[in-house]
Structure 1
Amino acid sequence: MSLRRILILIYVTVIPSLALAENSNIYALTVETDSNITSIEIRDEAEFVIPPDNAPFNMTSKKGAKVFTISQKKVVFEQVTRGEAEFDIYVSTPNQVLGLTVCKGSRLSYTLVRSDEGKHKNDVDEQDYCEKAALVLQLY
């Protein structure tokens, strides 16, 4: 691969991320669920990020965490069986409102996503139900 192609590849992949980071704030979200599987997907230009320095990352699961997968746009959390669980995730976005798709696996379960300013609870009585939500991150 030529040097020119490498530089173009770096520019195309790195520069948009740097531009997002310059104009973005990092917000902590808390997710609480009793579902055996939960997924949260971001619908806008925001990204899930690693916790900033000295920021806590907590995860508790009464029945045992099985899988925790996080990418820039989606978080998937699975437990051994249904039971109370809570974990923190961090998101970087230039917006004050975050567009989410919150999914739960069990019909009688719930998934609650909280920020400092707002919360959204998916507790509809349907199996494998996904719900679109707008979560307020910061009031003006």
Structure 2
Amino acid sequence: MTRAGFPFKREGLEGINGGLGGNNDGEGGGEEEDEGGGGEEGGGGGREEITDKVIEARRPDIVLLKKKEKECLIIDIAIPGDCRAWRKEEEKIQKYNDLAWELRRIWKVKTKVVPIVIGALGTVTSRHISFLAVL
């Protein structure tokens, strides 16, 4: 049974904090795989991108595919400590560069890695506005 705006089956969530009003005996039985919902345009949320070779970082937060512009944006979001914001931004770019190359080759689109990094106390890097302008 699904509810409007909540795409998951109620039975599949019983292992998480006792489910939604289900039994709270700690034996969650919700170890089932989700049987669909993949393949949506602009989907990211937990979907692994399929590539020809093994890539360690293949689950970004958001993959935005603009079909008309033939452009793909790999967006990853992080909230590190304020002193590590710049370093985390660089890590995100390096982490998803291999995936960007593979998607460029397979889908024949321009790809760009867009890290959205905001420090825990609101610190942003000097490149943050240029990354937001891409979106």
Report the structure, 1 or 2, having the larger helix content: 2
Query: Same fold judged by TM-score > 0.5?
Result: no
TM-score of the superposed pair, with normalisation by structure 1: 0.31
TM-score of the superposed pair, with normalisation by structure 2: 0.31
Between 1 and 2, higher relative CO (CA 8 Å, sep ≥ 6) is seen in 1
Report the structure, 1 or 2, having the larger strand content: 1
- The structure with the largest alpha-carbon Rg is 2
